[in-house]
């Protein structure tokens, strides 16, 4: 096979790796990338223990299985604490069973040798031709994006704009095709014509046990890394994760195109048929062909039908041309009656809270989908059309760490925003409550910090619009069932006609205590003012104290002062919420350090969100010394009543005109 002899692996650079459960960097030996469970979360087994025997049996069963012919092996072996789970996955184009199994066998030998006695390990062999992982926890149907490794071809592409557009379109398309695959194969590979008549090849694959949504999400998060830390402007790159992998190359076909993946989603819904028995595969092929032909004909008919109708209701979020925008607007627009029914006529029972721009209600649509409805109370200062246009733009922002805007409703004076419903309450409900914050151990707090960072990074850099949130605070971070953070209320500045393009505004949107000094004082905002708010959030999450401060008797020390004082005086452990003090102290201290870098007085010294995400992902990256934060008062304790007066409420954003306020010096210098 061409791709094996090609000395491509020599060019691989391990750029960065994300980590959650396992090690921080993939080791690479003889074209085998692997992560042992370096943090040893899952522990070791002893030689010849039951676990060891179970693992050996499991791996040899897995690598000698001849029943399965679709390249995905999910087996477990043993009971209770000695139960071992393993997943083997061959790349979608490796159709030869012998070849697939020998790759897995090699991985199995290498992995057990390179990660001796580890209960959990993962490895990829020969340019991801196969992946093998095992653990003592159930790893089936679990979407995991870490540990991951990124690699890039060092050569820079020409004609960057056309190039990355082509790559993006190709990979987006492949992501859709692979996600809609069945429970035996979620794989797609194809090529596209790039600049200078070059051919760009792409391949994506998920473990097929994932749901369509999880597969899609894993791949989207991989494609997202391209312009950030994988392979910006490079002619080739890959992002390899436990649950999915993605790769693209220029003028180098690294996969076997004859191994055709299943056709793109057809209109029949019988996609997940049971694995074919060996003798029946001919018949299955014929059936598959017949189904494909029927499916293609149906698709053609649908296309003809849709073309014949002028105002099509179909829409693609990605498309930018005008027709599609109009179509989107039709489908995102809700009827007021629908929302009234869903929220029981905005009943108080359904009231979830009062936000900066209106009241939020919980609702259930007729199809059972739960929604959050924000009933805007303030005049947005925009006409219907402008408002609608802005909603459409904001609805395009989709990221797992952003609360998704599903649509809107404008009828009469009523303006409503419809959001996905996020199950748990907001972050402030947990971290500032003595009893509830025990639910959040360091691991979940770290996950929350990292998630918020990714969400903001997306707003700042990855989305098509450059969005500055301007009102990041604990009550704007919602938590889903798994305590994943989702940022709410982004794009409000757009929806409320606050000029986003000016570096300067006379209308301040934000919450005191989270607002950067240059924003409070001069109305100057930038991505760095969001970074400031994010820094305050990190410090609140770690300390469990509100930014307004720590009250002792009659005095109240502002949080940033308290933290800086303890940090400077070498007693940083005083800062840490006692309920997490026993957890990974070094990681906590590193996060305090990152938080302090974000709240520095001088906006230019604060890191960008891209660097913050890097710092959070890579523990080895050195951090610079933070300078004194804004709002630091050396005397230690100061009454913050003055600031409190303007900080109208924890849950309410303030909107004031700089010209009117005399709060320009409420914080001492």
Ligand X SMILES: *[C@@H]1O[C@H](CO)[C@@H](O)[C@H](O)[C@H]1NC(C)=O
Query: How is 372-392 classified by DSSP, letter by letter?
Result: EEEEE-S--SS-HHHHHHHHH
Phi-psi region of 567 (alpha: psi -120 to 50; beta: other; left: phi over 0): alpha
CA–CA separation, 11 and 29 (whole Å): 14
Please pick, from the candidates 52, 56, 168, 551, the single residue that binds ligand X as defined by CB under 6 A: 168
Query: Residue 215 in contact with residue 182, Cβ under 8 Å?
Result: no
Eight-class DSSP state of 243: S
| Per CB under 6 A, 127 contacts ligand X | no
| Per CB under 6 A, 367 contacts ligand X | no
Please pick, from the candidates 2, 4, 13, 43, the single residue that binds ligand X as defined by CB under 6 A: 43
Question: Which residue's CB is nearer to ligand X, number 78 or number 523?
Answer: 78
ω into 147 cis (within 30 of 0): yes
Which of these segments, 268-276, 541-549, 555-563, 633-641, binds ligand X (CB under 6 A)?
268-276
| Per CB under 6 A, 119 contacts ligand X | yes
Query: Residue 210 in contact with residue 219, Cβ under 8 Å?
Result: no
| Per CB under 6 A, 292 contacts ligand X | no
| Per CB under 6 A, 164 contacts ligand X | yes
| Per CB under 6 A, 27 contacts ligand X | yes
Please pick, from the candidates 9, 56, 99, 420, the single residue that binds ligand X as defined by CB under 6 A: 99
List alpha helices for 547-627, DSSP H.
Answer: 559-568, 585-598, 609-617
CA–CA separation, 637 and 551 (whole Å): 9
Radius of gyration in angstroms for the set of CA atoms belonging to the chain, rounded to a whole number: 27
Question: Which residue's CB is nearer to ligand X, number 192 or number 497?
Answer: 192
Please pick, from the candidates 208, 535, 544, 626, the single residue that binds ligand X as defined by CB under 6 A: 208
| Per CB under 6 A, 502 contacts ligand X | no
Q: Is 471 a catalytic residue?
A: yes
Query: Shortest gap between Cβ of 86 and ligand X (angstroms)?
Result: 11
Question: Which residue's CB is nearer to ligand X, number 13 or number 581?
Answer: 13
Please pick, from the candidates 66, 113, 586, 635, the single residue that binds ligand X as defined by CB under 6 A: 113
Query: Residue 110 in contact with residue 34, Cβ under 8 Å?
Result: yes
- Nearest Cα neighbor of 68 from 87, 44, 55 is 87
Query: Shortest gap between Cβ of 295 and ligand X (angstroms)?
Result: 10
| Per CB under 6 A, 74 contacts ligand X | yes
| Per CB under 6 A, 256 contacts ligand X | no
| Per CB under 6 A, 140 contacts ligand X | yes
Exactly one of 471, 489, 530, 577 is catalytic; name it: 471
Q: Which helix (H) or strand (E) holds 410?
A: strand 405-411
Query: How is 1-12 classified by DSSP, letter by letter?
Result: -HHHHSGGGGG-
Query: How is 17-45 classified by DSSP, letter by letter?
Result: ---SSS-SS-EEETTEEEEE-TT-SS-B-
Please pick, from the candidates 2, 160, 286, 300, the single residue that binds ligand X as defined by CB under 6 A: 160
Which of these segments, 26-34, 394-402, 411-419, 569-577, binds ligand X (CB under 6 A)?
26-34
CA–CA separation, 215 and 211 (whole Å): 6
Q: How far apart are the first and last CA of the chain?
A: 68
| Per CB under 6 A, 172 contacts ligand X | no
**Helix, strand, or coil (residue 228):** helix
Which of these segments, 116-124, 388-396, 463-471, 561-569, binds ligand X (CB under 6 A)?
116-124
Which of these segments, 159-167, 240-248, 609-617, 649-657, binds ligand X (CB under 6 A)?
159-167
Binding site for ligand X (CB under 6 A): 11, 25, 27, 29-30, 32, 40, 42-44, 72, 74, 81, 96, 98-99, 106, 109-110, 113-114, 116-117, 119, 136-137, 140, 153, 155, 160-161, 164, 168, 183-184, 208-209, 226-227, 233, 268-270
Catalytic residues: 471
């Amino acid at each position: 096979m061409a791709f094996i002899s090609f000395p491509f692996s020599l060019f691989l650079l391990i750029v960065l790796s994300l980590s959650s459960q396992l090690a921080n960097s993939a080791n690479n030996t003889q074209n085998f990338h692997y992560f042992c469970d370096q943090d040893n979360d899952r522990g070791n087994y002893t030689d010849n223990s039951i676990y060891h025997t179970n693992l050996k049996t499991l791996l040899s069963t897995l690598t000698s299985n001849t029943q399965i012919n679709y390249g995905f092996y999910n087996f477990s072996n043993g009971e209770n604490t000695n139960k071992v789970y393993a997943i083997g996955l061959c790349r979608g184009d490796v159709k030869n069973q012998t070849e697939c199994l020998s790759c897995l066998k090699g991985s199995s030998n290498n992995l057990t040798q390179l990660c001796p006695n580890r209960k959990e390990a993962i490895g990829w062999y020969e340019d991801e031709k196969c992946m093998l992982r095992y653990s003592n926890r159930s790893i089936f149907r679990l979407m995991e994006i870490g540990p991951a490794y990124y690699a890039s071809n060092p050569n820079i592409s020409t004609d960057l704009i056309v190039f990355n557009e082509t790559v993006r379109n190709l990979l987006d398309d492949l992501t859709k095709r692979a996600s809609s695959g069945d429970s035996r194969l979620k794989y797609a590979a194809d090529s596209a014509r790039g600049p200078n008549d070059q051919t760009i090849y792409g391949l994506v694959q998920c473990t097929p046990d994932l749901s369509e949504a999880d597969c899609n999400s894993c791949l989207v998060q991989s494609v997202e890394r391209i312009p950030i830390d994988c392979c910006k402007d490079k002619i080739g790159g890959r992002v390899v994760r436990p649950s999915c992998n993605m790769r693209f190359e220029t003028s180098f076909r690294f996969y076997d195109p004859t191994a055709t993946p299943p056709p793109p989603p057809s209109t029949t819904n019988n996609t997940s048929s049971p694995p074919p028995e060996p003798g029946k595969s001919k018949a299955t092929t014929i059936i598959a062909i017949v189904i494909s032909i029927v499916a293609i004909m149906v698709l053609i008919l649908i296309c003809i039908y849709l073309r014949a109708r002028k105002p099509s209701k179909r829409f693609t979020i990605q498309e930018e041309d005008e027709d599609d925008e109009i179509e989107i607007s039709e489908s995102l627009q809700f009827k007021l009656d629908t929302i009234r029914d869903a929220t029981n006529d905005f009943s108080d029972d359904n009231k979830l809270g009062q936000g900066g721009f209106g009241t939020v209600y919980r609702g259930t649509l007729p199809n059972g989908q739960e929604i959050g409805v924000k009933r805007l109370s303030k005049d947005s200062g925009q006409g219907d059309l402008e408002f609608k246009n802005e909603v459409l733009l904001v609805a395009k922002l989709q990221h797992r760490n952003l609360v998704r805007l599903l649509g809107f409703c404008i009828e009469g004076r009523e303006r409503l925003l419809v959001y996905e419903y996020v199950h748990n309450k907001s972050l402030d409900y947990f971290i500032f409550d003595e009893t509830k914050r025990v639910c959040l151990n360091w691991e979940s707090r770290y996950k929350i910090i990292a998630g918020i960072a990714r969400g903001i990074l997306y707003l700042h850099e990855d989305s098509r619009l450059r969005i500055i949130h301007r009102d990041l605070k604990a009550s704007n971070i919602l938590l889903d069932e798994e305590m994943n953070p989702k940022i709410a209320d982004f794009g409000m500045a757009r929806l409320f006609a606050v000029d986003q393009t000016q570096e300067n505004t006379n209308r301040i949107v934000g919450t005191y205590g989270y607002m950067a000094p240059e924003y409070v004082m001069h109305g100057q905002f930038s991505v760095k003012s969001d970074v400031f708010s994010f820094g305050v959030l990190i410090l609140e999450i770690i300390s469990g104290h509100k930014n307004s401060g720590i009250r002792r008797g009659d005095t109240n020390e502002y949080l940033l002062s308290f933290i800086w004082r303890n940090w400077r005086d070498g007693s940083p452990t005083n800062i840490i919420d006692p309920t997490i003090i026993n957890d990974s102290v070094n990681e906590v201290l590193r996060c305090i350090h990152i938080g302090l870098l974000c709240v520095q007085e001088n906006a230019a010294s604060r890191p960008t969100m891209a660097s913050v995400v890097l710092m959070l992902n890579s523990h080895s990256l050195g951090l610079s010394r933070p300078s004194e934060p804004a709002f630091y008062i050396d005397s230690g304790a100061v009454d913050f009543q003055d600031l409190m007066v303007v900080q109208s409420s924890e849950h309410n954003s303030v909107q004031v005109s700089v010209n009117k306020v005399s709060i320009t010096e409420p914080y001492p210098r």
